[in-house]
Structures are given as C-alpha cells and as structure tokens.
Amino acid sequence: MPNITSNTTAAALKWWETAVIYQIYPRSYQDSNGDGIGDLPGITARLDYIAGLGVDAIWISPFFKSPQKDFGYDVADYRDIQPEYGSLADFDALLARAHALGLKVMIDIVPAHCSDQHAWFQESRQSRDNPKADWFHWVDPQPDGTPPTNWLSFFGGPAWSWEPRRQQYYLHNFLSSQPNLNHANPAVLQALADVAAFWFERGVDGFRLDAVHTINADRAPYQDNRANPDFVPGVLPQQQQPFFRQLHDSAQLNQPNIQQFSTAFRAVADRYSDRFLMGELHGDDPVAASQAFTAPGRLHATYNFNLLAWDGLDIDGIKDAISQAIAAFNGTGRLSFAFSNHDVPRCATRQLKALGLATEQQQAMQLLLLQLETCLIGSSCIYQGEELALQDVRDIPNEHMQDPWGIEFAPTFMGRDTCRTPMVWRGDAPNGGFSDATSTWLPVAKAHLARAALDEAERPDSIYNAFAAFLRWRKQQPALMQANQMSALRGGATQIIFERIAPQQTLRCCFDFATLSATFEEV
C-alpha cells in the first residue's frame, strides 16, 4: 500500500457519501439455534468479523414476517420479525452491538409490493368497498376477459392475476403472491411512512429500498408497454423471456408519480439525524432513473444494475458503466456502486470469465475489483463473501433449489441460489461452522471450505486482510474521503485510470487488469 500522508481536517461529507456497505443475506450468514437457517443472533455473533474488515455499515436483507416465497421480499408484517430469524429483542441486541463497534445499520424495506398474506391484501381482496379496497391495483378485465394491459412479470407470465371475489385483476410485477401496493393512495404512503418511523425510532441508520422502480403510483387506465426494438434473444432464460421484449419506463416501471413516495419517505428520514435512503432500481435508462430518484428532497442515493451484468463485463463495459454514472453524478454522493448482490452470480465467477482470466487469478482479480469499487465517488456495496473471493455455486441439486426463479428454469438457468449458499466460517467444522443442523436451507458449498471466513481472517496473506489493509489506507486519503470528485476515466485496453480530487489532495488511481494490480500516486 502506498505511504501517503497528509494533514487533514475532519471530513465534511455525510457518512453515507463515502460509506463501504457490507450486505448480509440473513438466511445464509450464521445459524445460532441449529435449525439450518441463519438468523439475527447469528449475525450479531459475527459482527466483530465484519468490523475487522473495516467497512462502515451493514445492510441486512429482509428479516420481516413473511411466508418466504421470495425469501423475505414478500413481507407479511413490516414491523415484526420472521420467527426463524429471531425477535425484535434480537434485532435490538444486534443494533446495539453494531453501533458499539462503530457500524451503521441499514435494513431492507420493500415498498413496491407486499405478500398476499399481509393483512392489508387479505382485507383488500374481499370486496370492492372495504377499508383497504383501494390499497392495491385492482382493474376490471377487458371486454373479452383478458388483463387490462400487456404488462408482464419479471418472473414470467402476465403481471396481472384474477381475483374471483372482486371479479377484478390485481397487479404484481413479480410473483402472483407479491401484489403491488397502490402508491396513488395517500393512505398507502402514510402507512409506509409509519413503517419508516418505526424503525428509525429503534435506531436504524438507513434503508436500502428494494426495486423502487417497480413502485406503481398511476391510476387506471394504464398504458401498454411498447415493443423493444433493440431486443436480441440471449442465452439465459431471463433474456429469452417476453418481458425483455418490451420497454417499460413510464408505463409499467419508473412512473413519474413514483416520486410522491420518494418525497414522503425522505420527509420521514429528515425528522431524524443523519439517516440514509438508498434505492435499488433499473430501467430502460437507469442513469436517468437515478437522477429522478435523487433530485432534491427525494432519496439520498441509488444504485442500479449497470455493473451487475449476469455474464459480467469486459474492461470496456466496466469503463462505460462507470463513465455514464460519473457524467451524471460527479461531485455528489448520490450514487452507490455495486459489483455484487444477492440477485446475481458471484463477482469472482462471472467477472473471471468476462475478463478472460484463469481460475488461479480469481483472488487477485476480486481484490482489484473491490479496490476499484471503493475508489469511485459515493458509497459502495460489498456482498457477503466477496471479501473472500468466493465463487458462484453451480452444482446445487435440483431437489435442493429454493429460488422460485431458478426452480422455474433449471437446469438451464440456476436462478439466484448460486450466490446465496451459506457462509462458511471454519473449513474443518461441520457445515463449515454455519450451522449445527443435520441439513441447511441450501447446501453448504464444499468448494468454499478452503476460504472459510474466520480461517481467512487469521491468515495474513488472505484477500480479507489485503482488503482490510486497503480500507484502512483509504480512510486516510482526503481525495477519497473528503470530496466526491473525480476525473474522466482513461487508460488502454487493460487499464482503468482516473484521479480522485479534493482540495487537500489529488490521487491518481490506476487499475491494471493485465498485472491485476492497483497503484496510487499523489499528483
């Protein structure tokens, strides 16, 4: 690590404008009670490991009451804990321990839809005149009985399902068991604002807001999606689905009226000190969508899928994705970068192929990408296990698969289980130290045992320790911590070069994918 020292003043930026955020998928992090499923006390037991890495915050994927058809992204009660994950008291203990270690805590709110088991939907579906009748998108059929629009679900099939009791269709952009909330109804906005206040009052530092582009805030009559003239069938089932033959923005997705939610949610956050709202989104033009969501008085930041391509990106693709973002957001902290999350194959696998590297180069490549990501403006999100260069798990037996998307298309397409297998903590422990259970919710990957987390934290030359050292160095650099300003990207076919710029320091960052090394020079 370069030895650069400077006399600096206290950083003027908010914590979230430079934060490195560690994402935890609670079902797969640590099981504390031997049922084969990760839980909140398990996370608490591993917070020292996370703090040792040197990240600034954790983001915990949903742990609310849920039938678990989409593993927590189908919420049945936004104010309580799914029993297999623990209790509110367990969450409070986790929060207190994280704060004691200097970690901010973000939780994952799903504002676009809930579970069909939620009391709101159970009441709404009964009739057209009950108190919750207008809390979801209910629409009469067309004269021939077909759905009101050509909208399609991300998971396949129409985005409309029939409810015989109301003799109407309801909207769901994902599973039919995930009905979309009607954000045109002020009562829905208030209910979600109350959810935000509930968790802020407990001490939560921020929210990652799931799939905000799929919020629906328009009222009927809805417009059909237009055909996508640039659609090219791909090799993966999700690219072959009819969904991707359509353009969605303004009709089904990224509706302008969504911003009523952003404004209302921000108003709640602003009642508390130093809280952070980060939205996940995508769309026909993700950068433009990010600009809309982070306009004054809306969300603090967003992240999109431009760096999360399912098959990875080559160097030109990485440069293009970053350059588009920098052109729109340079000088701000309104964007978060992510090479990985719980919805795409692990970075160390998909990027290895995309960059044309050999298996033995996996760890060096992963460290380089982690360094690149955390040198860009704004915040960055690191998915659990990326600090170990864990590979994607492609050999899950069909009978053990859990993801509804993968179950639908296996074995051609394995869905998202491949990046969600349990964390391993000790290579010589049963189930890698994840659980004492006879079996776990997803199989523990044998290939991961050689890079078990606690073993790697104790090994001086591990990627965990190399990244931890880099994050310690990063915190000492004014150019990275005290301003969100950077130059345009440049570099040859194997390099990404830019300057990070602050009044106290200009730092030239060079990432070389031929030598798989990063160099930094004060200029």
What residues are labeled active site?
Answer: 210, 280
Q: Determine the length of the chain.
A: 523
The residues facing 495 across adjacent strands are: 512
d(C-alpha 310, C-alpha 275), whole Å: 32
Angle between helices 88-100 and 186-202 (to 10 degrees): 60
d(C-alpha 239, C-alpha 154), whole Å: 11
CA distances from 69 to 372, 402, 407, 449, 484 (A): 35, 9, 12, 29, 40
Collapse the DSSP code of 459 into the 3-class scheme (helix H, G, I; strand E, B; otherwise coil) and give the result: coil
CA distances from 83 to 63, 79, 96 (A): 9, 13, 20
Backbone angles phi, psi at 508, to 5 degrees: -85, 125
Amino acid code (one letter) for 243? F
Peptide bond into 221 cis (omega under 30): yes
Collapse the DSSP code of 340 into the 3-class scheme (helix H, G, I; strand E, B; otherwise coil) and give the result: coil
Helices within 312-361 (DSSP H only): 315-329, 347-354
Among 508, 470, 471, CA closest to 486: 508
Residues 145-148: contacts with CB under 8 Å, at least 24 apart: 148/220, 148/221, 148/222
Largest CA distance in the chain: 73
Q: 362 near 352, Cβ under 8 Å?
A: yes
Phi-psi region of 473 (alpha: psi -120 to 50; beta: other; left: phi over 0): alpha
Burial label for 161, CB within 10 Å (0-12, 13-18, 19+), is middle
Backbone angles phi, psi at 20, to 5 degrees: -100, 115
With a CB cutoff of 8 Å and minimum separation 6, the contacts of 171 are 136, 137, 139, 151, 159, 160, 179, 180, 216
Collapse the DSSP code of 351 into the 3-class scheme (helix H, G, I; strand E, B; otherwise coil) and give the result: helix
Q: 118 near 76, Cβ under 8 Å?
A: yes
What burial letters (b/e) apply to 134-148, b meaning 16+ CB within 10 Å?
Answer: bbbbbbeeeeeeebb
d(C-alpha 442, C-alpha 393), whole Å: 11
